[in-house]
A = this chain, B = another copy of it.
């Protein structure tokens, strides 16, 4: 239906405008913003908890949690002392830039060095919605299987960083890390892949160093 395509194009254009405004603001604040996208249950919130443990003492962190229902994810971040706003989409399958702007404009949203936006658990729809972030992060748990980048190419092509999660499960599942690395390299030649386990701590240092490098680079260029 041409009408559907038309409305979708207008929705995306309106989102682009809102995202551009957010990006300008994050630039002026010299704050780094990450948009985390994955299937439900890939370990986005658990990775953020591990990131808070590693970076919370050095940087001002904040979180925006997108979900269909429940405040559970924001509660998990708040329990770690991190200010977090829960956006309940009420059925919608992704966050949009206006929702993020509203959350940040809300009373009491703090100043931050790094903002983690945890999108709704969905490997498809959030891909098209720019939230003003510095870069998208795609998460893929080793339990999900090693065929996923080619099956969901858009997000792995657009995410500057792919974080493979739950590497502690590698002995118990069939998952070829090199196959995933090769698929990501085809889809996104400049992309980076980090293999992590929030349980054993594998890769968390590399992941957090990447965040600190990107923040430092943004501060240098934003002067």
Q: How close is A168's CB to chain B, nearest CB, in angstroms?
A: 7
Q: Report the interface size class on chain A.
A: 35 or more
Interface flag for A186 (CB, 8 Å) = no
Residue among A4, A122, A169 with most chain B CB within 10 A: A122
> Which residues of chain B come closer than 8 Å to A152, judged between CB atoms?
40, 68-69, 121
Copies of this chain per assembly? 2
Which of B1, B4, B11, B150 is A69 in contact with, Cβ under 8 Å? B150
Pairwise interchain contact A147-B70, C-beta atoms closer than 8 A = yes
**For the complex, what is the distance from the CA of A111 to the CA of B67, rounded to whole Å?**
41
Pairwise interchain contact A144-B93, C-beta atoms closer than 8 A = no
> Which residues of chain B come closer than 8 Å to A168, judged between CB atoms?
172
**For the complex, what is the distance from the CA of A18 to the CA of B53, rounded to whole Å?**
52
**For the complex, what is the distance from the CA of A152 to the CA of B144, rounded to whole Å?**
18
Pairwise interchain contact A153-B69, C-beta atoms closer than 8 A = yes
> Which residues of chain B come closer than 8 Å to A41, judged between CB atoms?
39, 141, 143-145, 148
Which of B121, B144, B166, B172 is A151 in contact with, Cβ under 8 Å? B121
Interface flag for A107 (CB, 8 Å) = no
Pairwise interchain contact A121-B39, C-beta atoms closer than 8 A = yes
A interface residue numbers (CB < 8 A to B): 1, 3-4, 7, 11, 39-42, 67-70, 72, 91, 93, 120-125, 141, 143-145, 147-148, 150-154, 166, 168-169, 172-173
A–B pairs, 8, beta carbons within 8 Å: A4-B7, A4-B11, A39-B41, A40-B123, A40-B152, A69-B153, A70-B147, A122-B125
Q: A40-B152, A69-B151, A143-B166 are in contact. List 5 more A-B contacts (CB 8 A).
A: A40-B144, A41-B148, A93-B93, A93-B122, A122-B125
